[in-house]
Amino acid sequence: MNEEKLKIDQNISIPCPKNGGRNKKMDNIRKTILLMQVGDSVFFTDKHEAMRFRTRADTMSKRQEVTGKWVIRKLDSEPTSWRIWRVK
């Protein structure tokens, strides 16, 4: 039976993630959510981005990083757009 011995290295530093461990866009979403007051809203022309923002806000609320509730509405405009309000 051929067993290969693994070499153990010591004092090798772990490289930092290239983007600090988070997606830059998600950092901007997080900062925006933390700055929002009741009655503030954010406008989106992309449904995927709007849902991503709403999901992130809900997740932060569940993790107790922020308190509040958010409402998303499709607007009657051309092109189709969405707005998310902080309501609580």
This prediction has a pTM of 0.68
Which string of b and e fits 45-56 if b means at least 16 CB within 10 Å? Answer: eeeeebeebbeb
**pLDDT tens digit sequence for 5-57:** 878 788 888 777 665 555 555 678 889 999 999 999 999 999 999 999 999 99
Q: Is 20 a member of any domain?
A: no
Contact between residue 41 and residue 84 where contact means Cβ atoms under 8 Å apart: yes
Q: Is 74 a member of any domain?
A: yes
Domain that holds residue 66: 40-86
Q: Which residue has tokens 């990083």?
A: 65
Q: Is 68 a member of any domain?
A: yes
Structure tokens at 44: 């989106």
**pLDDT tens digit sequence for 37-51:** 999 999 999 999 999
**pLDDT reading at 66 higher than 60:** yes
**How many domains is the chain built from?**
1
Burial zone of 84 (CB within 10 Å; 0-12 exposed, 13-18 middle, 19+ buried): buried
Q: Is 17 a member of any domain?
A: no
**pLDDT tens digit sequence for 73-86:** 998 887 889 999 99
Q: Is 13 a member of any domain?
A: no
